[in-house]
Amino acid sequence: MELIFEKSVSGRTGVRVPLSDVPKAAPLPGELRRGEPVRLPEVGELDLVRHYTNLSRRNFSVDTNFYPLGSCTMKYNTKVTENAGGLFASCHPMLALLPGGDQLVQGPLAIVYELERQLAEITGMEEVTTQPLAGAHGEMTGIMVIAAYHKARGDRKRKYVIVPDSSHGTNPASAAMAGYEIVTVPTAPYGDMDLDLFRQAMNDEVAAVMLTCPNTLGLFNPHIAEICAIAHEGGALTYYDGANLNAILGKVRPGDVGFDVIHVNLHKTFGTPHGGGGPGSGPVGVRGDLVRFLPTPRVLRREDGSYAVEDHPEGIGRVSDFFGNFAIMARAYAYITLLGREGLIEVSEQAVLNANYMMARLKEEYEIPFDQTCMHECVFSASRQVQNGVHAIDVAKYLIDRGFHPPTVYFPLNVKEAIMIEPTETESKQTMDAFIEVMLEAARLAREDPERLHQAPVTTPVGRLDETRAARMQQVCCE
Amino acid sequence: MGYSPNTPDDIRDMLAAIGAASVEELFAPIPAQLRAKSFDLPPGMSELELMRLMREKAASCGAGITPFIGGGIYDHFIPAAVDHLASRAEFYTAYTPYQPECAQGTLQALYEYQTTICRLTGLEASNASLYDGGTAVAEAALMSLRITDRHKVILDGSVNPLHREIVTGYLHGLSAQAVQVASDGCASDLARLIASIDDETAAVIVQSPNFFGSVQDFRELAQKAHDHEALLIVSCYPIAMGLVASPGEMGADIAVGEGQSLGNHLSFGGPYFGFIATRKRFIRNLPGRIVGETVDHQGRRGFVLTLQAREQHIKRHKATSNICSNQSLCALRGLIFCASLGRKGFEELARLNYDKAQYARSVLGAVRGVEVLNAGATFNEFTLSLPKDAAEVVQRLLDKGVAAGVPLGQYYPGMERALVVTVTEKRTRDEIDRLAALLEEALWS
């Protein structure tokens, strides 16, 4: 499709700018003036509306297609929470930082405070900050809190963070951004970080261990409390990556298990829409003695029940300008309030049921690297299909032709030809059955007509794209 | 209430296929002693009850206040088309475009966004968005450390203090050093900035227009930085780019900024987006996602996420940043906003902001005892010196329904009487005149 810039016609205008009701001012001095106007497209409003409406139709989305993208938790986003999140559109965040201004924004401050309390209860943590703007941003914030803790104790020799090899790539990247070196521990044949190798890796130079549980293989680690204990004995803190929290709502709380720090991806567990890659929101919770290191400012409740914004002098400073991605937080707050205790427990139960059903139905055709009861997602390998020259990516592309967004492929990295499926709790058995039929069909085609899979997709506006060429050309904007 | 559609019959059939007797049995891998000690949340509610509750909260969120405040976030108008198009579920409920053939909508839009950012900033390569303006400045600082393999950045005191706090936090764990150079009144102290640059310097970070509203020429600063093989990073305000010389024209190597004013609602702090652009030779050091153009097997044009070897899912701890989710939907809003206004409209909008602020500058500067502190040019913000404590004056005017500006004392000790006033195209002449009258009253009666 043409770019909006290619639809530009010199002299055409779209939206009209208001007329001025003040005198024209003397121009800026020449050296401060822009040389030529910004070369933005010149299109009428209808051209614009058609262009972006038609572009949108070139996307798969949850509202149009089943989206079992493992680890990403693409559940349906309830419409009423959308309406709720939009109610605060005209509220300027700077009001809260003006002298006396907190009185004018009691509603949104109450939401920040109450959401933090809800998340603390859900995760078993003492306090939560909503400031981080995405899950990975939360990871970095959490590790910065851990660094501040060690520093405050005068413990300066800790320079390593341990992660399992199946971890999200953001874990090591976030720890590195906070200044740590990474030690990777392999996965044992039972599907979790190898306990013996972990013991060997632990020493008094380790600052933290970062884990997710259930892990990215969809498995709950029965040794999780032991890992926490070993870490604590060595003076390290434990970090829980909350990306998979939707599997255990009401069943397990990371704080109860022995984790010291956690981030929560609101856009996953609490069903806020992900907009083609963001916004997300990654609140961080901590155990009691780490509360003082949380970022500044904090929202507190006064004795009279009103809310105030307070500086947090020992904290790690700011990690974003204001209170986080507030409109996303308001949606998550609405979601938690709407579902309530029983609804959230049902989320986990149905997410786990759906994932196990998917695994049970597909395991005849697709290899399961770790054959155990899974949590909210299951990981297969296309290793059998590879014998016929068919790879995970070919199966993925065939699914597109049949109207399904593909699962996550080639992740986690420790499974060859990984296909990671997360149905989520909002999908019906009938939708999953239709998907399962196509997955089984793809496995049949892999044996009988592999070329069909290699050619897919054929129903989309473009076929398989040349990614090598894109990386070589580095054409990232139009001239 | 839940949103799972499965009926009791469905659940029974699924359990049979799994070979489990109950849903609870599926949680057997979790040892009993690890079970939740508490899950104390209230019962759920209906949509009607929820909206009643949320409207109650929204009733107390600054309604009825006329804002003359900025601090990096601005009250601009948003064309109706932005909300409508960005609300299309195909954009709104999609994920990161990992499978390009079924995500050409998002990918092409991000490519158009990158083009828009390059054109606004006068630079050649943009990523697909960062979290917000403050983290964008921090990411640019980290980028300069990678490019130069040095450990010192010079941070101008007229850069947004909230952003400076984020930068120092990001650098803290990395044994990198942020050297703060105090501003000279309301302007960057160019001579001191230049004198601070040495062969250890990775970058000099300035802002235009700066936190006081001043616009300056950074060409010489760029030259001096380059003489030491250091970079110039300019944080810019995108609406000003309709009128003010771009970072590229000023000789900047990296431009960053807060994208909120491009079609994103105020929303009490987010979601917004940060933008970043650079020279093409630094493209491999850009953090976050980048969309690139390519072709399919039939030669048809298409778009993909590219240069992914820099990213956390491949490079892990050696990645250019840890960014995974960015702010795509907010970037889409920014793109549609810019395309709505177009070449001519964008310039007119910048001009209108400038004219309104110049009018306010003259009217407020004429209030008895009030002085404009900016010596030179300003864009849509300027700084006043008041004969009284600015925080007290602001608090008094809030009671009259006006947020008169941001008092500077909390960020700049010694500037307790200074007030930064922001005027966008949404403020009318009457509102500006009223602010002048209220200010006069607050100061003298």
CB contact under 8 A, A177 and B142: yes
User: For residue A262, which amino acid is it?
Assistant: I
The token pair that represents A353 in the structure block: 């049921």
Parallel, antiparallel or unpaired: strands A307-310 and B231-236: unpaired
Q: Chain A, 27-56: which have a CB under 8 Å from a chain B CB?
A: 28-29, 31-35, 37-43, 45, 48-49, 51-53, 55-56
- Looking at residue A413, what is its pLDDT? 87
Of A239, A268, A228, which Cα lies nearest the Cα of A77?
Answer: A268
Q: Which are the contacts of A413, defined by CB distance < 8 A and separation ≥ 6?
A: A165, A166
- Phi-psi group of A278: left, alpha or beta (phi > 0 → left; psi -120 to 50 → alpha; rest → beta): left
- B308-358 confidence digits (pLDDT tens): 989 988 889 999 999 999 999 999 999 999 999 999 999 999 999 999 999
Chain B residues touching residue A37 (CB < 8 angstroms): 242, 343-344, 346-347
Of A266, A451, A294, A435, which Cα lies nearest the Cα of A361?
Answer: A435
- Looking at residue A332, what is its pLDDT? 98
As beta bridge partners, residue B35 has: A252
Of the candidates A32, A84, A426, which has its C-beta nearest B4's C-beta? A426
B408 touches B420 (CB < 8 A)? yes
**Distance from B400 to chain A by nearest Cα, in Å?**
12
CB contact under 8 A, B342 and A349: no
The percentage of residues in chain B with a pLDDT greater than 90, rounded to a whole number, is 96
Kindly report the backbone phi and psi dihedral angles of residue B103, in degrees, each rounded to the nearest multiple of 5, phi listed first. Answer: -140, 30
Q: Which are the contacts of B386, defined by CB distance < 8 A and separation ≥ 6?
A: B369, B370, B393, B417, B418, B419, B439, B443
DSSP string over A205-236: TEEEEEE-SS-TTS---TTHHHHHHHHHHTT-
**pLDDT greater than 90 at residue A190:** no
B136-159: b or e for each residue (b if 16 or more CB lie within 10 Å)? bbbbbbbbbbebbebebbbbbbbb
**Distance from B158 to chain A by nearest Cα, in Å?**
16
Of the candidates A84, A338, A406, which has its C-beta nearest B99's C-beta? A406
**pLDDT greater than 50 at residue A358:** yes
**Helix or strand (DSSP H, E) at A201:** helix A195-201
Of the candidates A56, A118, A253, which has its C-beta nearest B91's C-beta? A56
Which of A472, A476, A479 is the best mutation test for B, with the most CBs of B within 10 A?
A: A476
- Looking at residue B2, what is its pLDDT? 59
The Cβ-side half-sphere exposure at B443, using a 13 Å CA radius, reads: 21
Confidence bin at A189 (pLDDT 50/70/90): confident
Query: Looking at residues A282-287, what average pLDDT do you find?
Result: 98
**By 3-state DSSP, what share of chain A in percent is helix, strand and coil, each rounded to 5?**
40, 10, 45
**C-alpha dihedral sign at B124, B127, B129, B131:** negative
- Looking at residue A14, what is its pLDDT? 87
B95 touches A67 (CB < 8 A)? yes
The percentage of residues in chain A with a pLDDT greater than 70, rounded to a whole number, is 100
- Determine the distance from the C-alpha atom of residue B360 to the mean position of all C-alpha atoms in its chain, rounded to a whole number: 25
- B44-75 confidence digits (pLDDT tens): 999 999 999 999 999 999 999 999 999 999 99
- Determine the distance from the C-alpha atom of residue A291 to the mean position of all C-alpha atoms in its chain, rounded to a whole number: 24
- Looking at residue A226, what is its pLDDT? 96
- A90-107 confidence digits (pLDDT tens): 999 999 999 999 999 999
- A120-148 confidence digits (pLDDT tens): 999 999 999 999 999 999 999 999 999 99
User: For residue A357, which amino acid is it?
Assistant: Y
CB contact under 8 A, B94 and A276: yes
Confidence bin at B1 (pLDDT 50/70/90): very low
- B158-177 confidence digits (pLDDT tens): 999 999 999 999 999 898 99
Of B26, B110, B194, B356, which Cα lies nearest the Cα of A58?
Answer: B110
Q: What is the mean pLDDT of chain B?
A: 97
Three-state SS sequence of chain B: CCCCCCCHHHHHHHHHHHCCCCCHHHHCCCCHHHECCCCCCCECCCHHHHHHHHHHHHHCCCCCCEECCCCCCCCCCCCHHHHHHHCCHHHHCCCCCCCHHHEHHHHHHHHHHHHHHHHHHCCCEECCCECCHHHHHHHHHHHHHHHHCCCEEEEECCCCHHHHHHHHHHHHCCCCEEEEECCECCECCHHHHHHHCCCCEEEEEEEECCCCCECCCCHHHHHHHHHCCCEEEEEECHHHHHCECCHHHHCCCEEEEECCCCCCCCHHHCCCCEEEEECHHHHHHCCCCCEEEEEECCCCEEEEECCHHHCHHHHHHHCCCCCCCCCHHHHHHHHHHHHHHHHHHHHHHHHHHHHHHHHHHHHHHCCCCCEECCCCCECCEEEEECCCCHHHHHHHHHCCCEECCEECCCCCCCCCCEEEEECCCCCCHHHHHHHHHHHHHHHHC
Which of A13, A31, A40 is the best mutation test for B, with the most CBs of B within 10 A?
A: A40
Predicted ipTM of the assembly: 0.98
The percentage of residues in chain A with a pLDDT greater than 90, rounded to a whole number, is 96
Chain A residues touching residue B291 (CB < 8 angstroms): 476
Chain A residues touching residue B155 (CB < 8 angstroms): none
DSSP code, position A29: P
Chain B residues touching residue A269 (CB < 8 angstroms): none
* Separation of alpha carbons A62 and A68, rounded Å: 9
Chain B residues touching residue A166 (CB < 8 angstroms): none
Which of B40, B54, B239 is the best mutation test for A, with the most CBs of A within 10 A?
A: B54
The token pair that represents A58 in the structure block: 């070139």
